[in-house]
Structure 1
Amino acid sequence: MILLSALFITAVSSHDKSSAQKLADPNYGPIPGQSSLYSSYRGKAPPFPGNITDPIAPTAKGSPGTDDLVWQNLLSAEWVIFSFYQQAVEMFNETAFVEAGYPNTTYDRIQEIRDNEAGHLRIFQNEITPTSVKPGACKYAFPFDNPTSFLALATLIEISSMTFLTGLVQMAKLPASQGAMTAIAATETRHETWALLDIWKTNPFGGPSDTVFPYANQILDVTNAFIVPKSCPSENPVYPSPRQNLPPFAPASSTKSISPGSNIVLNFTDPTNQPSFHKGVQYYATFFHGPSNISVPVDTTHWPREDIKVEIPSQFEARGIILAVIADIVGAPTLASVKAGPVILLEQPAELGLLVT
C-alpha cells in the first residue's frame, strides 16, 4: 500500500543504526513484488530502503553464504545507481525536462526507475545471508547539472548495468542467485529501451546479444569515480571485492569517433594510477562486443612519450556498447591478463558516445 510505504519513507531516519538493523528482517518494510512502492511512489524523498543508509550488521555467526560476496558487490553498486537517480529526482522536476525538449512523461519515468532501483536495494539486502554485513551507502558526486547530461549518463549506466550483470551471473554459484541477477538485468533492459525510444528517438535493438564481459568487478570499479573519497561506512567491505584497481583509460580528446573502424588514442586518466608496460611484452587492446571479443596488438614501446593508438575492430556492429581493456594475452582470458581498463564505448545512440566516455 502506498500509504504504508509513505510511513516508511518519512518516519525512518537515514542515519539511525537501530533502524538499519530492522532491515535484517526480510519481512520488514515493503516487499519487492508485493508492494506498489517500487513502481508507483512519486516524491522527492528517497523511498524505502533508500532512506536508511547505514550498513546492516550480521545477525548470526558462521561462514559467509556461498554468493554473499557477489551480492555485497552488487548492493554497493546499487547504492551508486539508486543515488544517481535519487539525486536527479531531487534536482529536477517535470518542467525542467519539458523545457529541455524531452517528453512530458520523462520526469515520471525517472521517478519510476528510481523506485525500481530502491526495490533492487531491498532485493540485494535480502539475498545476503545473516552471517555477512550488508553494505550501506557512501556519499556520491555525479557529473551532471542539467537534464541532458543526466540522461546521457543514465543511458551509459543502464546499458553498463546489463553488462556487469552478465559477469556477476558467471561469478555466482547458486542457480537461484543466477536467476535473480538475470531478472534484474531484464529490468535494466526495460529502462534502457525506454531511454532509447522516448529520449533519443533511436532503434532500441542492440543486435542479437548484449555485450558479455567476464570480469564484472572491473566494470564495478569504474563506479568508484562517483564515490566521494573516504565517505563510505567503515563497516563496508572493499568495493568491489576483490579489487584490482586497474589503471583507467578513455579515448583522448583528439579522438573523433568511437564507432567500429575508428582510430582512438588512449588517455590514461588517473595520474596516480598509470600502467606499467614491460619491454619485450606484446600488449593488446581487447574489445568485447556481443558474445565475443577481438584483440588488436598495440605498440607500447615509446609510451608515455608517444600515445598509444588503436583501431576499434571494424567487424563489430555499431550497436549497444563495446568494452575495451589492455591485456598481455590475446582475448584477455584471465583476470590477471588484464592490465588496464575497462573503457565503455557507447555505440547507441552514437552521438552520445564521446560525451560519456
Structure 2
Amino acid sequence: MNLLKAFLLSAFLHSTANTASIPFDHKPNDQQLANPNHGPVPGQDPLYSSYRGKAPPFPAYITDPIKPTADGPPGIDDLVWQNLLSAEWVIFSFYQKAVEMFNATAFVKAGYPNTTYDRIQEIRDNEAGHLRIFQNEITATSVKPGACKYSFPFDGPASFLALATVIEISSMTFLTGLVQMAKLPAAHGVMVAIASTETRHETWTLLEIWKTSPFAGPSDTVFPYANQILDLTNAFIVPGSCPPENPIYPSPRQNLPPFSPAGSTKSIEPGNNIVLNFTDPTNQPKFHRGVQYYATFFHGPSNISVPLDTTGWPHEDIKVRIPPQFEARGIIVAVVTDKMGASTLTTVKAGPLLLLEQPAGLGLMAL
C-alpha cells in the first residue's frame, strides 16, 4: 500500500470512529440550528445510525426552540412540520431514556436477543435524525419547537418494549394523516420516507421481540385526523414544562374526551364487544338527545361505523362490537362520531382509541 492510500485509509477510519463514538460536539447554541447546513446531515453522516453513546446525539442535546430568522408569513406546511417536530421530541426522548436507563445485559437477562440494546440505540439515532430533518423542513419565518420534559410509564425492558411497539405502529397511523394535511408534494415525499423508516422499526420489534408476523395485510391503517393521535402523546409531557415559545401542540388541538375499553375487556380483536370507558373525569363527552352517535372504526384504507346507544349514559354503559369484518392485523383506530364515516374533523366527538392487533396479547396489555 502506497503512502497516499495509507494516509487516506487512516483518515477515513479516524473520521468514522469519531463520528460513531461521540455526538457532534461543540458549544450548544439553539440559533446555530437555524442553519440547515450546521452539524451532521441526515443521510450523509453515520451519526444517525452508528452512534452508540448514552449522551444524546446532535441535535438532541440542544433542546431550546429555534427562533425565526426571517420576517414574513409562515411556510405553507410549517404548522404540519411543527406538530411533527413536537411529536418527534416525545419519541426521541422515549428512546433516549431507555438508552440511558438500560444496557445490553438488562435485555439479555429479561430474555430478549443480545442485539436488542444495540438496535434500540440505532433507533434512537434514527429518531435524532428525524429531529434534524423536521427542524430543517420548517421555514425561517416560523419557530422550530424545542423539547419539553417527559415522563414515560416503563420501569423495565418488557414494559419499555411493549410501549415501543405501540408507539412505532401508531407512528405509521398518524403519518398517514399528516401526509393528507401537508400541501406540498415535497413534504409528502419526506413523510413517506420517514414512514418507511418507522416501518423498519416496527418490523424489528414484531419479528425479533414478539416473534410474530410483521405483515398487517395489504395496507396499514389510514386515519385522516393526525392531530387527534398526536394529542395522545400529551400524556407523556410533564404539564407546564414546554418552552413558552412553542406553539400549541398539536395545533389545532381539539382536546377530545379520551376513552378506552373498560377493565373487564377480555379481547380487542374484531368481533368482540367492548364497553367505552371515558377516562378523564374533567373531560367527558356530551351526548345530545335526538342525535345518533357512532363508533367509527378505521382499519386498512376504509372505515366502518357502528351505531351507539347513548340514551342511558352515564348511568348505563355504552357497548359496541368491533366490526368482525376486519382482519386481526395491524392497528384499528376507533373514534366516537355524530356522522357515519367521520367525513369531517368536527364529526369526531371523542377518542381516538388505538387497538393494537399484533401481537394479540400485547394490544390489551398496552391499553
State whether TM-score is above 0.5. yes
Deviation at 1:196, TM superposition (A): 0.4
- State how far apart, in whole Å, the 2-side matches of 1:155 and 1:164 are: 15
Q: Is the 8 A contact 1:295 1:330 kept in 2?
A: yes
Q: Is the 8 A contact 1:12 1:52 kept in 2?
A: no
Bigger drift between 72-81 and 301-310 goes to 301-310
Note if 1:253 corresponds to 2:263: yes
Measured in 1, the distance between the counterparts of 2:68 and 2:20 equals 25
Determine if contact 1:287/1:295 at 8 Å carries over to the other structure.
yes
Q: 2:49 aligns with which of 39, 51, 68?
A: 39
Aligned equivalents of 1:4 and 1:101: distance in 2? 31
**Secondary structure, counterpart of 1:265 in structure 2:** strand
The one-letter amino acid paired with 2:340 is V
Task: Return the offset for 1:11.
Answer: 3.8
Structure 2 equivalent of residue 207 of structure 1: 217
Please state how far the C-alpha of 1:71 moved relative to its aligned partner.
0.2
Specify the SS of the correspondent of 2:85. helix
Structure-2 residue corresponding to 1:136: 146
Please say if 1:220 is aligned against 2:226.
no
Q: Larger radius of gyration, structure 1 or 2?
A: 2
Q: Please give the alpha-carbon distance, in whole angstroms, between the structure 2 residues aligned to 1:225 and 1:6.
A: 33
Q: Which residue of structure 2 aligns with residue 319 of structure 1?
A: 329
Q: In percent, how many aligned pairs have the same letter?
A: 79
Which of 324, 328, 353 is the matching residue for 2:363?
353
For residues 169-202 of structure 1, the C-alpha deviation after alignment (integer angstroms, 9 at most, x for no partner) is 0000000000000000000000000000000000
1:164 equivalenced with 2:174 (yes/no): yes
* Partner Cα separation in structure 2 for residue 294 and residue 12 of structure 1: 53
2:34 aligned counterpart, secondary structure: coil
Q: Distance in 1 between matches of 2:280 and 2:145?
A: 26
List per-residue Cα deviations over 1:52-98 (Å, max 9, x = no partner): 10000000000000100000000000000000000010111101100
In structure 2, C-alpha distance between the alignment counterparts of 1:135 and 1:316, rounded to whole Å: 38
Q: Matched residue of 1:256: which SS?
A: coil
User: 2: distance between equivalents of 1:337 and 1:295?
Assistant: 12
1:51 aligns with 2:61: yes
CA contact (8 A) 2:304 2:341 kept: yes
Other-structure match for 1:264: 274
2:197 maps to what in 1? 187
Deviation of 1:227 after TM superposition, in Å, equals: 0.3
Q: Deviations over 1:123-154 (max 9, x none)?
A: 00000000000000000001100101000000
Q: Give SS of 1:98's match.
A: helix
Mind listing any 5+ residue stretches in structure 2 that lack a counterpart?
A: 1-14
Report the counterpart of residue 6 of structure 2 in structure 1: none
Tell which deviates more after alignment, 302-311 or 174-183.
Answer: 302-311
Could you tell me how far apart the structure 2 residues matched to 1:331 and 1:255 are? 25
* TM-score normalised according to structure 2 size: 0.94
Gaps of 5+ in 1: 14-18
Q: Secondary structure at the match of 1:90?
A: helix
2:156 corresponds in structure 1 to 146
The 8 Å contact of residues 46 and 86 in structure 1, kept in 2 or not, is answered as: yes
Q: Offset of 1:6 from its aligned partner? A: 6.0
- TM superposition shift of 1:306: 1.0
Counterparts of 1:131 and 1:293 in 2: how far apart (Å)?
38
State the match for 2:115 in structure 1: 105
User: Is the contact made by 1:9 and 1:51 (CA closer than 8 Å) also made in structure 2?
Assistant: no
What SS does the aligned partner of 2:154 have? coil
**TM-score, scaled to structure 1:** 0.97
Instruction: Mark the CA change 1:12 to 1:267 in structure 2 (over 3 Å): closer, same or farther.
Output: farther
Residue 119 (structure 1) aligned with residue 129 (structure 2): yes
Structure 1 residue 80 corresponds to structure 2 residue 80:
no
Secondary structure in 2 matching 1:48:
coil
Cα distance in 1 for residues equivalent to 2:153 and 2:313: 30
Shift of 1:47: 0.6
Separation in 1 of the partners of 2:121 and 2:159? 17
RMSD: 1.0
Deviation (angstroms), 1:12: 3.9
Q: Is the 8 A contact 1:258 1:347 kept in 2?
A: yes
Q: Alpha-carbon deviation of 1:5?
A: 7.2
Displacement of 1:100 after TM fit? 0.5
- CA distance in 2: counterparts of 1:203 and 1:8, whole angstroms: 35
CA–CA distance in 1 between the matches of 2:71 and 2:86?
Answer: 22
The equivalent of 1:288 in structure 2 is 298
Q: Is the 8 A contact 1:163 1:213 kept in 2?
A: yes
Shift of the alpha carbon at 1:307? Answer: 1.1
Instruction: Write the distance in 2 (CA, Å) between the matches of 1:341 and 1:32.
Output: 35
Amino acid at match of 2:209: I
The residue type paired with residue 161 of structure 2 is L
